[in-house]
Amino acid sequence: MCFIRDRQLDHYRALMMMHVIIAHVMYWLCDVGEPWLSFILFAMAGTFFIAGASVAVAGHRRGLWATVLNRLWRVAMPFYIYAVVIIAFGIVMTALVGDTRSLGFKPLDIGDYGWEEVLQILLCQDVPGAPYHAHLWFLQPYLILSCTFPLQVKAIGRCNRHVYMAACVGLFLVVQAVTRHELLREVACYNVFMVAGYLYYRRAGVLPRVALCLCVAAAIVVHVATGGNFCPMQSHKFPPDWVFAAYGAFALSAVSLLLGRFEIPASRFLGVWNKRGFNIYLYQSLVFVGVFAIRYRTYMSLSIPLALLLIDSVLAILLATALSMLTYPIERAVMRLLGEKAKRH
């Protein structure tokens, strides 16, 4: 079935992935402090919102099992390939360099991996010992939500969309009240943004978004004024709470009001980041090894935070783009080979 994708959504996806990379520059390389670190933490809210919006504009619907198989193939399998690559990279660099701390990570040995570490990888939880691996927390909640989303699409079709949205928010608040289990809280929180993307992308007018901005901003101000803390936002993110979710809603509404006033021009560069976005997200581990190594040998002594942020961010974006020209074809080739073998059997 033919359908026309929303090209602006593709551009938003690429820009959000760049935002994620720059956010990790700020956190992993410690370029700047608060409140800037807190202000940027709406990237994952935006990522799940775009995931939901992508389902809404796709023009076709997969069934539950077709979606599960598709997500396992398109998300879990690239992650497994990445895990093999990043472990091999760490072991080789340890053998060549010895003390890899000058590259930003601890030395790695194949003996570090037992059945518990292998299980973590198979469950898409982590690649223990890998350099700059903190970004991998995203995979489990994303797989859970994207695999089960067809069930929510059916449920949404049977009730009022605003009522369903309110129910998702209520469920998240209940989960927050009864448990600190990180994965459960993440699934409940990011489901709010994924459902919001599905329900409201291109369907929410200016006035509702302005009203949402004002209401959420007022709630955060009251929270801070009555003794609650806003910074660091990272303390509200793991596990996510209502402050994190509220700030995410505020930031996305504000950004949409700004970006909604003009069209983002198409470019080959944005096209690359849209097409290879997940690959770039995974292999940013190697990108940050490169950034750290270059910084360590050149401009490490630079004492101007904003200059460091600018240099590191531009370098990370360029290295991520260049690296994807190698890792993306390798990923695709391995998956084609595995797909052909699966068909033969």
Series of mean pLDDT values for 10-residue runs along the chain (345 residues): 64 93 91 89 95 87 91 96 95 89 84 91 94 93 97 94 97 97 98 97 91 94 94 94 96 89 87 95 95 88 88 96 97 93 74
Q: For residue 299, what pLDDT is reported?
A: 87
Q: For residue 1, what pLDDT is reported?
A: 32
Q: Is residue 271 part of a domain?
A: no
301/193 Cα distance (integer angstroms): 41
Instruction: Tokens for 124, please give them.
Output: 């898409």
Q: For residue 3, what pLDDT is reported?
A: 41
Q: Is residue 270 part of a domain?
A: no
Q: For residue 202, what pLDDT is reported?
A: 86
Q: Is residue 135 part of a domain?
A: yes
Query: Per-residue DSSP letters for 80-149?
Result: HHHHHHHHHHHHHHHHHHS-GGGGTS----GGG--HHHHHHHHTTS--TT-TT-GGGGGHHHHHHHHHHH
Q: Is residue 70 part of a domain?
A: yes
Q: Is residue 297 part of a domain?
A: yes
Q: Is residue 187 part of a domain?
A: yes
Beta carbons of 290 and 261 less than 8 angstroms apart: no
Question: Domain tally for the chain?
Answer: 1
Q: For residue 124, what pLDDT is reported?
A: 96
Q: Is residue 22 part of a domain?
A: yes
CA-closest candidate to residue 86, choices 110, 62, 102, 50 = 110
Please name the helix (run of DSSP H) or strand (run of DSSP E) that holds residue 12, with its range, or none: helix 7-28
- For the whole model, what pTM was predicted? 0.93
Would you tell me how many other CB atoms lie within 10 Å of the CB of residue 82?
23
What Rg, from alpha-carbon coordinates, does the chain have?
21
Q: Is residue 246 part of a domain?
A: yes
Domain that holds residue 253: 7-265+276-344
Alpha-carbon distances, residue 166 vs 191, 203, 209, 335 (angstroms): 12, 17, 16, 40
Contacts of 40 (CB under 8 A, 6+ apart): 19, 22, 23, 26
